[in-house]
Amino acid sequence: MPLLEVANLHAHYNYAPVLQGVSFAVDAGEIVSVFGRNGAGKTTALRTIMGWLRPSRGSITFEGRSIGGLSPDRIFRRGIAFVPEDRRIFPTLSVEENLSLGLFSRWRSSSAERRRQFDRVIHLFPRLGERRRQLGKTLSGGEQQMLAIGRALIGNPRLLLVDEPSEGLAPMIVNEIFESLSRMGNEGIGLLLVEQNVHRAATISNACYVMEKGRIVTHGIPSVVLRDEAVRRRLSV
């Protein structure tokens, strides 16, 4: 049974259809990327899974239980975390305070367990440990992205949704972030990744889906999918 299964998903903004029968799955420890041009519906798919947009048809199942139509906070408590493209860190809070907000779903955990989760994030992103007292607004763009991912990860989700993690970042920082995402998959976390940097995302992904106009047009192993000239034209790569 997949960790996440999306079947025949439809969603609208007002009366305009955005998702039109989207289906895909993510297993535990699997990294799945969704590729497509701007406006293809990739971010909408993540927002719908996370409950920010209510599906008009289809099903979303997580760990064998339906989550379609649940509120974002209930979906988060089920074990899904979302890192949006705009990161949404708190600029006037320190790195440590931002990370602590990610622990609110684990308020029943012991202080030792919460400390282990904090140390896990710092081990994954050592820069955050070095800047733990700095305000979010003083961090570089790459460090803010690390903080956004770390805040999602610290709640110990089983599935992480990540929207455009490389957007606007220097290649060296992009590599650092993708290496960290790969390590998360190796630790058993499922990742659903929306990314314009197709080639870099393909190197860490077990599977990929290509979207166009709200539909999945092809899917498979990234190295195979990206050899298709028609797909390469669709993605402009």
pLDDT of residue 125: 94
Backbone angles phi, psi at 138, to 5 degrees: -90, -5
Cβ-contact 6, 60 below 8 angstroms = yes
Token readout for 53 is 């947009």
The domain boundary, picked from 116, 141, 156, lies at 156
The domain boundary, picked from 156, 186, 215, lies at 156
pLDDT of residue 109: 63
Enter the pTM of the model: 0.93
Give start and end residues of each alpha helix (H) in the chain: 42-49, 72-78, 95-101, 111-124, 126-130, 141-153, 171-186, 198-204, 222-225, 229-235
| Residue with tokens 């995302």, as numbered in its chain | 201
The string over 54-78, giving b where at least 16 C-beta atoms fall within 10 Å of a residue's C-beta and e elsewhere, is ebeebebbbbeeebbebeeeebbeb
Tell me which residue range forms the domain holding 116: 87-156
In the chain, the N- to C-terminal Cα span, in Å, equals: 33
pLDDT of residue 193: 97
7 shares its domain with 27: yes
Alpha carbon distance 84, 163 (integer Å)? 5
107-125: pLDDT as tens digits: 566 777 778 888 999 999 9
205 shares its domain with 107: no
152 shares its domain with 163: no
20 shares its domain with 123: no
What total number of domains does the chain contain?
2
- pLDDT under 50 in the chain at which residues? none
Task: Name residue 193's beta-bridge partners.
Answer: 33, 162
Count of beta carbons in the 10 Å neighbourhood of residue 147: 25
Alpha carbon distance 6, 12 (integer Å)? 16
